[in-house]
Amino acid sequence: PLSVADLARAERVRPQSMRTTLAALEDRGLVTRTPHPTDQRQILLSLSAEGERLLRLAHHAKEDWLATAITTKLSPAERDSLIAAIPLLARLVED
């Protein structure tokens, strides 16, 4: 759960833009609101069960596409090069 301000900061957009996006997601039942436990002025937003389901489906679709592309478009040598690059890619996404 995150506040609108925290989500806006994470996505590097203005809070007003994030509010518009979140309102659309909330209208579709994809996010839920809960009061902040220590600051009653804030609302925390979380994915709803339906939002989590759709996110999982999107991730699976991307994974399926990537796996298919790797096996059908790359040669065995290219796949080996890709595997060798994984540690370098992992370093790029570390915090």
Residue 63 has pLDDT above 80, yes or no: yes
Q: Which pLDDT tens digit goes with each residue over 1-16?
A: 999 999 999 999 999 9
* Antiparallel, parallel or unpaired: β 31-35 and 43-47: antiparallel
Residue 77 has pLDDT above 80, yes or no: yes
Measured between alpha carbons, how far is 48 from 94 in angstroms, rounded to an integer? 28
Domain ranges, ordered by start, for the chain: 4-47, 52-93
Supply the pLDDT for residue 11: 94
Residue 35 has pLDDT above 80, yes or no: yes
* % of the chain with per-residue pLDDT over 70: 99
pTM score of the predicted model: 0.65
Mean pLDDT within 32-54: 93
Nearest alpha-carbon partner for 38 in 11, 3, 8, 65: 3
Question: Computed from CA positions of residues 62, 66, 69, 71, in that sequence, does the dihedral angle turn out positive or negative?
Answer: negative
